[in-house]
Amino acid sequence: MTTLHWGCVADDFTGATDLAGNLATAGWRTAVLTGVSAEDHALTGIDAAVIALKTRTAPRAEAIGESLHALRWLQRAGAQRYYFKYCSTFDSTSEGNIGPVLDALIDDLSAPRAVVVPSFPDTGRTVYQGHLFVGDQLLSASPMRHHPLTPMTESDVRALLAAQSRLPVSWVSHEAVRGGVEVLSSALAGITTSPRAIVVDAISNDDLGVIARAVRDDVLVSGGSGLALGLPGPGTATSPPPGVTSGRRLIVCGSASQRSREQIRHALDTGMPAWKVDIRQDDEAGRLRRWLGQRRADDPDAPVLVYATDSLDDLGDDDAHAARAAAIERLLANVVVSEVAAGTRSVIVAGGETSGSVVQALGIRQLRIVTQIAPGVSWAVAETASGEPVALALKSGNFGGTDFFTSAWEALS
């Protein structure tokens, strides 16, 4: 049986590729698994396996059950250490799911502690004095305050976690981290309540390295993907199989985040062919298919953008949002399936829920990380259930530069 150095559970699909990309950057040969079953995945030559779930906004019992199922599969695969990955902006409600899942993983592994490290400085996410910052703004003052599914109106990670977890929540300051591995190790050891979750400040990649070394014997760690950068490994990333990067190019964006809206505006300003989905229209899927067919006939090599939101006004009221979002996810996933069948070989998907729907609709079981495009976003290669090779960039709505939709293709050339 393959022995894994790292077994990782991610609460959404973009988070899974985000973590896998950082593990690959740190030198771990990494694969993303889109769910697990009794059938083994081929993990030859893999140091770290990341299981991608759609549990961020799932009912709590479902999120716990799926996470424990993933954990036990990784245990059978021989994982030596475990990583629970959630968003670097701690996306969750007051009920969870970060706290309840972390509690369950700690219990199942009999772990005496788990550090809580959302920080990802390369994307502007830092924790100082226990408070989460997005750039120079507190989380509660950032655009995440208006997230349609998980509005983040509190910045204190300790308070956020304590509202969700039944375990004691402790905190270690940046002063201890800045003191180095021995000082931090001593500070962590001084928190004797067991089991417990420990929020740790980090404002730089050097801090992440100190934390990683201080918890090198911990069976379980948790956080955003930034902590992975402090976990140097022995492997190297894979290369794309021949032909996977040739063919048509497609972008689908279900995200309503501020950064995704900026990326849409930039793509439109450059003249990229684009279609804004309007699910209120009769036969919207048919209209979109016909438009895509015409675009491909005009210029088969040009990237094409299909998006749902370029203004917060598009979200509508809270009662209608969930149904609208689900309908858009289905439509975008079906578009990707039909376009890949027609010859599209590289796809950017923006938005965590949309990414999960697309990967599941394509029947992809495993993605292998190829190359990082931007902090938190990588190209991965996969094979669909029908046998088509495809390169996918699954992007959290908040990640990537303003020009991401136009520049990401350069990493495949």
CB 243 within 8 A of CB 264: no
**Each residue of 165-181: pLDDT tens digit?**
999 999 999 999 999 99
Query: β-strands 377-383, 366-374: how paired?
Result: antiparallel
C-alpha neighbours within 13 Å on the C-beta side of residue 177 = 26
Decide: helix, strand or coil at residue 171.
strand
pLDDT in tens, 177-211: 999 999 999 999 999 988 999 999 999 999 999 99
Planar angle of CA 250, 382, 286, nearest 5 degrees: 35
Q: Is pLDDT above 80 for 243?
A: no
Please compute the mean of the pLDDT values over residues 224-249 and round it to a whole number: 74
- Contact status, residue 376 vs residue 125, Cβ threshold 8 Å: no
Q: Is the pLDDT of residue 301 over 60?
A: yes
Looking at residue 39, its pLDDT comes to 59
244 pLDDT more than 90: no
Find, among 29, 15, 5, the residue nearest to 67 by Cα: 15
CA distance 216 to 201: 17
CA 331 to chain centre: 21
| Predicted local distance difference test score (pLDDT) of residue 234 | 82
**Residue ranges of the domains in the chain?**
6-230, 248-412
Among the CATH numbers 3.40.980.20, 3.20.20.150, 3.10.250.10, 3.40.50.150, which is that of 248-412?
A: 3.40.980.20
**Residue 109, Cβ neighbours under 10 Å: how many?**
17
Rounded to an integer, what distance in angstroms lies between the CA atom of residue 330 and that of residue 251? 15
Arithmetic mean of pLDDT, 56-84: 95
pLDDT of residue 315: 66
Mean pLDDT of the region 273-300: 93
pTM above 0.85, yes or no: yes
Query: For residue 328, what are the contacts with CB-CB under 8 A and spacing of at least 6?
Result: 254, 277, 279, 308, 354
What integer is the mean pLDDT of 138-156? 91
pLDDT at residue 1 tops 50: no
Q: Find out whether 98 and 90 touch, Cβ atoms under 8 Å.
A: yes
131 vs 313 pLDDT, higher one:
131
**What is the structure's pLDDT at 40?**
61
Residue whose entry in the numeric block shows the structure tokens 């062919």: 273
Helices then strands, each counted (H, E), the chain: 12, 18
Domain boundaries 6-230, corresponding CATH code? 3.40.50.10840
| CA gap 137, 142 in Å, rounded | 6
Percent of the chain with pLDDT over 90: 76
Residue whose entry in the numeric block shows the structure tokens 């908040």: 398
- At 63 the pLDDT is 97
Question: What is the pLDDT, as a whole number, of residue 323?
Answer: 78
